[in-house]
Structure 1
């Protein structure tokens, strides 16, 4: 399969296909016309000796320093080298590849004044499976993701470090092994490569995709917990949700009911008790609100994925080159903070269900689901692990977007911290996935005690999926490998729900 980029209609399905190695990439034929036109405007203005920010001037506070025509290429290379000061653990392979893809898509819109060769090299790196090593820390999320994108750009000029066929090497060697040639940056091209929001948006996109998968898994595993605790189905009936018409709330209620159809374990109001605790009764309200968060993040990310976010922008029809602020990451910063908060609550709700599964004061199951309570601790401490992750998520969910530190001698006096927000959101998703893995282990153990034959057909299938990864706990054992195996299966979408 081949995905064609024009900067206007790249979606999540296409991104996922490319990152999974199921599709190659090329620039649409009609996009080249706009790309060539924007480059012609740059060249024309250079010939006329016009002063253009970042083309023949310095950067940031140095924007009033005019650069001679003979030094414009050196200016662009110096920009990349000086701005490549990221630190910390590198972004994952998929984030780096997504950054290449999203930068190529943004440049393909034809508002950046870059040459064909530059965009084509981004595409060639994607198709060759070559990706830059990009440190994850160091971006303020305004003036673009300058540090991360500079590390990406270094590889394109034959510097920096990259991974090719599983091996780490310098950029020039990686390009050579892939049969590619480094580019020599022309006027504006260095700035066009790094003045954008592609680090936060790439990580945000991957975060959204994983969060969306996790939200659907949460509905499934909550249904298994609901059964194991003999939950009251009346709270899921559509009448309640129709009078508070949040669409997502009703969707979750219907989803949980579909999982529970045919169960011999669920109860009716007044049969065992009149009401369930909120962690069961309010699943539609909480999970539904989290779906609303996901929809907000989806909307903002799709806009950003298909936007021109560098500066200045080149408008071919009018011949104007306009300095603006599309590189400012505030929309994505807010979306990532919101996503992190939503996913923290998904984990928090899950941990409360774990507590109800293992606490003998809250159910009629053996204490801590242990085969021999007292002699064996069973699933006592697995709840501690979940609680620890919930607590960590609360710290990570503090909004990064409310902070700003001026930079570039106060020229850039308000920044978004959007990349920090995306990094924190992704860590929250990783933590919440492990919390839900813990719930899956506990719910399956409780179902083993209740009798799997009493489960609804859909939850029984989920139970069997869990059991294929985590065997029944018949005696105390270290559960760390089980948690990690379950979490990985959820992440890789190996659990069918």
Structure 2
């Protein structure tokens, strides 16, 4: 499924009868515009759980964040007056974020994951809050949620912004700008939502932001993996490289490697008389690099499943009692996202190296630097320099985001997972890899234009794919402002170019 080309009109309304139906694939569809509807039986189950929670709260026992303060102030008991203000008030002092904000698709995914966790009943929120989240999605009213500078255990900072938009103290995004929530709600004919008992603390618990972003980052990475496969197959055909490194026999006991090698071999075909006996290492290791990328994607998706199905609320209502948890700790997701980021950076390194190799006439048999007139025209040499700059930047910030605990809240929060930051760093790596691939695609197009045998031994679909990209650029091989070409190709890659160019193991999002 290519979610880059979808709109709300492409999807039927998803009618939810169980929380599990709002899975990773459905959340990705909601991010792309799909609408939700909560079936009455599901709402009745949420309502029943809500009544159980309210009944249990009448016994007067301390319940964290409900009739007590939060964090280091949890020993402070709140009187009835304070409790009546507490849930809405939780959205105020914790809303310390600012721009840059999550994008519209990212914010829609966050709302969907927040809804999913509420529908399980662990948080004990009312059906009214669940319905309000669905209404926001239907109206495309999206809270302004900060995407970075989040240094808390869990996600209290971004979630306080989400809750503030609901209650009227925060902001919504309108055409990319943050607008006062009261004005937006009024224009939509809505009143600010008044959070009821336990609903405020429920809103700021858990890891819905990182979970949502992890779903989208994994889908991004699957598309990038397919694009790397397509580009490598085109390069192998362009220069007449040996197919030996992509022989399926090399994938013994390695499912992911077999998937990648099979996809490349299917696209590149056979060449009994390769021009070169042994290609540079950046070509030969591509199969292993993309196989590791697939394993990293699988790790993120497995962490997402645990987050969607596990207990992330605190205190959670389970087995008729409230249980304090550490379910808001996102280290599982953060560590998986860090692994995905490193895998993407490694693929970017190999891509930049292949661009360099394509400038060498000894390897390609094409004009030096892929210049139509060496000396007068520089060809692709500066394009390669851009890839070097991107890779250097990615490597320079490659420290794991999931490490670096700093004590806060008077020691009450003495570790953090920085999971939202890990998701942001992963997004940065995906953007960088896409930029390198745009440069690589431009280099391939230049090589095809200079070649006397343009992709003759290749799957015709791949030849069409390269030709379609080439048609978007100015004619000829003379020097021009190639940065403009790279921008065009970046947009093309982001729109889904090459998604079909691999088997389902690479290209299926939200698997």
Question: What's the CA shift string for 1:170-211, capped at 9, x where partnerless?
Answer: 112212223332211112111111112122222222111111
Equivalent residue in structure 2 for 1:17, among 29, 32, 37: 29
| 1:329-408 pair list within 5 angstroms | 329-360=330-361, 362-408=363-409
Rounded to whole Å, the distance in 1 between the matches of 2:337 and 2:177 is 32
The answer as to whether partners of 1:279 and 1:352 remain within 8 angstroms in 2 is yes
> Are residue 60 (structure 1) and residue 71 (structure 2) matched?
yes
CA contact (8 A) 1:279 1:353 kept: yes
Hey, what does 2:303 align to over in structure 1? 300
- C-alpha deviation, 1:363, in angstroms: 3.4
Please give the secondary structure, in 2, of the residue aligned with 1:162: strand
Task: Give the match's secondary structure for 2:409.
Answer: coil
- Could you tell me how far 1:404 is from its partner in structure 2? 1.0
Contact 2:446 2:477 in 1 (8 A): no
SS in 2 for 1:425: helix
Aligned twin of 2:62: 51
Which residue does the alignment assign to 2:323?
322
3-state SS of 1:169 partner: strand
Structure 1 distance, partners of 2:152, 2:435, is 29
Give me the whole-angstrom Cα distance separating, in 1, the residues matched to 2:209 and 2:265: 40
Deviation per CA, 1:135-160: give whole Å up to 9, x if none.
22232362x21111111111101121
Q: Out of 245-254 and 353-362, give the one that drifted further.
A: 353-362
**Structure 1: gaps spanning 5 or more residues:** none
The equivalent of 1:474 in structure 2 is 477
> How far 1:379 sits from its partner (Å)?
1.0
Cα distance in structure 2, aligned partners of 1:473 and 1:34: 65
Distance in 2, matches of 1:51 and 1:357, equals 68
Distance 1:276 1:165 in 2: 49
SS in 1 for 2:491: helix
Correspondence for 1:454: 456
Alpha-carbon distance in structure 2 between the residues aligned to 1:108 and 1:124: 15
Task: Identify the residue that residue 191 of structure 1 maps to in structure 2.
Answer: 201
Residue 215 of structure 1 aligns to a residue whose secondary structure is helix
The range that moved more, 87-96 or 252-261, is 87-96
The match for 2:145 among 125, 134, 137 is 134
Q: Is the 8 A contact 1:140 1:418 kept in 2?
A: no
Deviation, 1:97, is 1.4
1:166 and 1:385 mapped to 2: Cα distance? 29
Counterparts of 1:269-284 in structure 2 under 5 Å? 272-284=275-287
Please name the residue that 1:250 is paired with.
258
Map of 2:442 onto structure 1 = 441
Deviates more, 1:72-81 or 1:427-436: 72-81
How many angstroms apart in 2 are the aligned matches of 1:455 and 1:273? 15
For residues 314 and 184 of structure 2, what CA distance do their matches in structure 1 show?
A: 29
> Aligned to 2:112, what secondary structure does the other structure show?
helix
Residues 7, 306 of structure 1: 8 Å contact kept: no
1:161 and 2:167 matched:
no
Judged with a 3 Å threshold, the aligned counterparts in structure 2 of structure 1 residues 472 and 240 are, in CA distance, closer, same or farther, namely: farther
CA distance in structure 1 between the aligned counterparts of 2:424 and 2:119, rounded to whole angstroms: 27
Residues 380-426 of structure 1: per-residue CA shift (max 9 Å, x gap): 11111111111111123211112211221111112111111111010
CA distance in 2, matches of 1:219, 1:140: 37
Q: List gaps (5 residues or longer) in structure 2.
A: 1-11, 502-511
Q: Distance in 1 between matches of 2:134 and 2:475?
A: 48
Change beyond 3 A, Cα 1:73–1:481: farther
Q: What does 1:98-117 align with in structure 2 at a 5 Å threshold?
A: 98-117=109-128
Provide closer, same or farther for how the CA distance between residues 130 and 307 of structure 1 changes in structure 2, counting only shifts above 3 A: farther
| Two-structure CA RMSD over aligned residues (Å) | 1.9
Change beyond 3 A, Cα 1:138–1:160: same
Could you tell me the TM-score, scaled by structure 2's length?
A: 0.91
Decide which moves more: 248-257 or 65-74: 65-74
Partner of 2:7: none
